[in-house]
Structure 1
Amino acid sequence: NVKLKTYYARKRKLNEETYPDFYDTDLRQLFGAPAGIKAGAYLRRRRRRLLNAVCQWTNEKKFPVNQLLARLTRRCDELGLHVLNDDPQQDFRVTAFITTLVMNYLFTGKFKRTK
């Protein structure tokens, strides 16, 4: 059943952004604090600032970026991720991550996960 396994591996790779666990590795790396503010609440509180920064530097419309941000926020809630309260670099890291996803989307048509 190597052919069937290869088929499903290719199909998953082609449609990977639609799987709920697609961003889990990156989200766990970004929001790996054992305790603190819930990552979903953090993203909701900073949504407008993140949205404006990403749209400014990528020149992408707000609607698709907002949809991506909403999907990331929901996934953070599902995973129960947290962020440190006093990390001054967190906004920068999150903005860089979302900007990378949007730029990948602009060049490939998909929100590909960073490796």
Structure 2
Amino acid sequence: MPWKSKGAKAEAADHAGARLARQATVEVAGLLGKRGMSRTDLARLMDVSPGRVSQILSGDENLTLRSLAAVADALELDIKISFVEPKEDGARRPRGLGDGSDAFVYAP
């Protein structure tokens, strides 16, 4: 049975994946802002079109680890993925840009 047809667990995984993708795109946007870079600058570093960078950072596409790795490589950063216990209230929300508190941590 395909993953997409497995019911509530698959739907929860889809929502979690979308949340992580949004978090990753916010992180990248924050990093670009901190460096005074545009999406066009990132596209040049990645050797892709500005439209491709927009696709990656739009949140509309299923963001892949390969895409994130390409962004990190272009920015000369590493990516660390961590599994953390949920906060006491059960909510899972990012606490800020690049503070290392959630699943995606970008480290020099």
TM-score (normalised: structure 2):
0.32
Greater RCO, 1 or 2 (C-alpha within 8 Å, sep 6+):
1
TM-score (normalised: structure 1):
0.31
Bigger fraction of residues in helix: 1
